[in-house]
Structures are given as C-alpha cells and as structure tokens.
Amino acid sequence: MPLDLALFVAATFLGAFVAGVAGFAFGLVAAAIWLHVLTPLQSATLIVVFGLIVQGYAVWKLRRALDWRRLLPLVIGGQIGIPLGVELLRWLPASTMRVAIGVVLMAFSLNALLRPKLPPMVKAGPMADGGAGVASGVVGGATGLAGIVPTIWSGLRGWSKDEQRAVFQPVGVTIFIGCALWLGGTGSFDRDTLRLFLIGLPALLIGNWAGLKVYGHLDEATFRRVVLILLLVSGVALALPAMAALRS
C-alpha cells in the first residue's frame, strides 16, 4: 500500500537521523512504526541490515579516533555476555527481564536528567571495562538493544562525546553481529524484504547524513541530554509493553 510504504520510508529516515545524532537507537525508533506496516520478521531483518550500515558507516568515520586498548575489554566482554543473555531467556520470562532493564534505564536517565551536571562517576581499568562489556552482551542477547549498556558506561566514565561514540558504536556493532549469529542469523532476506531494503536505502543514507551533520554542531551538554532522553525512551519502550504482557 502506498501509505504503508510512505510510513516505512519516513520511519527509516527518522531512525537513521536519530542514530546519526546520538549514535544509537535506530532499531528502537524505526521499529516503533515498522511493526505497524511490516511483518515482525521483515522488521527484525531490516533492523539488522540497516542498523549495521548506519553503525558501520559511523565507525568508519570514527576510525582515526578508535582506541583499541580501550575497546578490546568491552568487545571481548560483550561476546562473552551474549550467550549468557540468550541463555537467560530460557530461564526467565522475557517480559520480566525487559521490565527490570527498562526500570533501571528509566531510573538512571531521570536521575541524570534532573542533575545539572554529571561528573565522571567511574574511574576504572580494563577489568571493569570488561565487566561492562559482559553486561552489554547480556542485555544485547536478552533484548536486542546492543548499544544501551556501552552508552551508559561511556557516559559514566566521563569521556567526551567523540570519545563516547568511538567506544559505544564499535562495541554496539560487534554485539549486534554476535547477537545475530547466536540467535540464528539475520532472518529471511526474501524478495519482498529485498524490495523494502532498496526502497528504504536512500532514506537511510540521507537521514544518517543529516543526523551526523547535526551531531557535529552539538556541544557536550546537549549531546548528553539527547543521549539521556533516548535512554529514557528506551526504558519506557522496554518496560510498558512487557508490563502489559505480564498482566495479560
């Protein structure tokens, strides 16, 4: 339907724009609309494919800022945590996990938004970074939100906005790929999904380009607020549907 395609393209642009500005949340934004006009399988497949394009391009642009000594503990820890997160789904109801993670995200982001400044709260070394990586993998494997924990951790470490993105985006990409492999691949890329991919690709590229342009004009305080608001939205998006599922 023409209206469905228009909504699909608009959601693709918006998700790519937000990811360009903040460095994460493409799937969160796009899926909120996609799931009304696409099948769950198409939505999941396109989130993986489009998400990797958006994040991969951003990582390539940040390649000169990458600090592998800082990244490796988080990347290795993330790959360790992914199967733990997937396995948790066998033991705990997915809705319970999503509510718990969503409540933590809401509490953290609201507390941080209400504070005028968030000074560096964590002085840590490779071991602590590795632990944060494991937590990132667990949350990614259990919820599919690969960038949430590394985004929070980068903020707590007190790094600048460029340093944060040079950490949480590469870590998110590796966790995203690992989740896709552990969960059985990226889905069925059939003819209809390929057609949607080709239709949405221009909107994805334009939206990401526009978002990166806006990001370049953000100061540290504004970037922090954008990230915290998106974390708050992520928490609400996780917790409310899961609470409704637990009640039903």
The Cα–Cα gap between 182 and 192 comes to: 25
pLDDT(37) > 80:
yes
Would you say 19 and 176 are in contact if contact means Cβ atoms under 8 Å apart? no
Supply 18's token pair.
């937000």
- At residue 121 the predicted structure's pLDDT band, cuts being 50, 70 and 90, is low
Positive/negative CA dihedral, 28, 33, 38, 39: positive
pLDDT(158) > 70:
yes
- At residue 186 the predicted structure's pLDDT band, cuts being 50, 70 and 90, is very low
Closest CA to 23 of 64, 57, 74: 57
Q: What is the dihedral of CA 86, 90, 93, 94, to 10 degrees?
A: 20
Q: How far is CA 63 from the centre of its chain?
A: 19
pLDDT tens figures, 57-72:
888 877 777 888 888 9
Which runs of consecutive H residues, i.e. helices, occur in 62-185? 68-91, 94-113, 126-143, 148-156, 161-182
Mean pLDDT of 69-83: 91
pLDDT(189) > 70:
no
Supply 135's token pair.
């937590």
The Cα–Cα gap between 24 and 22 comes to: 6
Compute the radius of gyration of the chain from its Cα atoms: 17
pLDDT(137) > 70:
yes
Would you say 143 and 101 are in contact if contact means Cβ atoms under 8 Å apart? yes
- Rounded to the nearest 5°, which phi and psi values hold at 49? -65, -50
Out of 150-154, 231-235, 241-245, least confident range: 241-245
pLDDT(185) > 70:
no
> Model-level pTM?
0.72
Q: How far is CA 46 from the centre of its chain?
A: 14
pLDDT(174) > 50:
yes
pLDDT(36) > 90:
no
Rounded to whole angstroms, what are the CA distances from 193 to 180, 196, 217?
17, 5, 35
Mean pLDDT of 70-91: 87
